[in-house]
Amino acid sequence: WVTEQADDEIVFPPERWAATFRSHAQLILSELGEFLGYSPPPLLEQLIEDAQKIHQQRPILQETLATATQSRGEA
């Protein structure tokens, strides 16, 4: 849509385009959600819920690190 709206002689380098899109992604999603009538969950409740989640692999990674460190100490 953006490239269609721009003048034909304007060049969009892929790396610059990706960085530009990424830096505006939150605003794009917000506007798109509003346009589609999406009502996101309340921010405070979402933050509280997400902050309590533990990544499923975190204990495994910590255990692996502890085992590897212990093995080196014994060697």
Give the number of domains in the chain.
2
pLDDT by position in tens, the chain (length 75) = 787 888 888 888 888 888 988 899 989 888 888 899 988 778 888 888 888 776 665 666 667 777 777 766 665
Q: Do residues 36 and 49 share a domain?
A: no
Cα–Cα distance between 8 and 54 in angstroms, integer? Answer: 49
DSSP secondary structure of the chain: -HHHHS-TT----HHHHHHHHHHHHHHHHHHHHHHHT--PPPHHHHHHHHHH---TTHHHHHHHHHHHHHHHHH-
**pLDDT value at position 74?**
61
Answer yes or no: is 31 within a domain.
yes
pLDDT for the residue numbered 24: 92
- Residue 35 is which amino acid? F
- Whether 59 is covered by a domain: the verdict is yes
pTM: 0.43
The CA-CA-CA angle for residues 18, 13, 6, to 5°, reads 95
